[in-house]
A = this chain, B = another copy of it.
């Protein structure tokens, strides 16, 4: 590749998480890297943005060297703030992650990691979200390799407007990986359980818990692919229009006539 690419890195686990260090390392082999990431854990914030309070930015150091910038906001805030106000020119690529935990099926909606990438794509920059399927991944070496490989493809080929990639990498040794496959978002959902507890003042409170109901059986879903040790690459979009239902909805008597 001839040009020196500029790559913006963010995440939702916070700027000091292991996953973002791995992703930054992978991207350093492709170009110049700038990191804007939340100052603390922001899992499950979805596409939240901060409109009612101001944001602050602090430089973040690792081993005495500037690693990037910590933002007191959400993943989407980090990308919005960096691209609209901090960088001299838009980056060539936005990458988010590497998330500690899979972002497959319905989790794509709740994911701050995906939303950081989505925000990049909204701002006209090709974007990729990366996640590993373990909440406590130990070894990022294969994930780094995959991130570099897929990022290089996107830098070379671009992505259509409004479309980004959501990549999930099985947390298994490299020799157990079966390959890289293109998938669709699965249909599995959470079985939500709120645990009711009583505080020291005898008032009740509720903690969200629960488990993923595995409803996916088809090989081309992100859930089954990652379960079968394939790296899953799903193209996603932020146009939520249900085009298939549009013609039918037009036959409804919405005007009450």
Q: Which residues of A are at the interface with B, using a C-beta cutoff of 8 A? A: 41, 43-52, 54-57, 76-77, 80-81, 84-85, 106, 108-110, 115, 118, 122-123, 149-150, 153, 157, 160, 162-163, 165, 179-182, 184-185, 187, 189, 192-194, 196-197, 203-208, 210, 231, 233-243, 245-246, 249-250, 252-256
Contacts and interface: CB of A to CB of B under 8 A. Distances in A.
A47 B160 contact: no
Nearest to A76: B46
Contact of A192 (B84, B240, B243): B84
| Number of identical protomers | 2
A194 B84 CA distance: 8
Contact of A48 (B41, B48, B80, B203): B48
Decide if the interface of chain A is mainly helix, strand, loop or mixed: mixed
B180 A109 contact: no
A187 to B, nearest CB: 8
Contact of A240 (B56, B189, B205, B236): B236
Nearest to A197: B54
A194 B81 contact: yes
B235 A241 contact: yes
A139 to B, nearest CB: 19
Contact of A205 (B55, B187, B192): B55
Nearest to A149: B256
10 contacts: A44-B50, A45-B46, A45-B48, A80-B192, A84-B193, A85-B192, A85-B196, A162-B187, A231-B254, A236-B242
Nearest to A40: B52
B43 A182 contact: no
A148 to B, nearest CB: 9
Given A44-B52, A48-B110, 15 more contacts: A41-B52, A44-B48, A45-B46, A46-B47, A54-B206, A55-B207, A56-B203, A57-B206, A81-B194, A81-B206, A84-B210, A85-B206, A184-B241, A231-B254, A235-B241
A241 B254 CA distance: 29
Contacts of A249: 165, 182, 233, 235
A81 to B, nearest CB: 6
Contacts of A55: 194, 205-208
A122 B149 contact: no
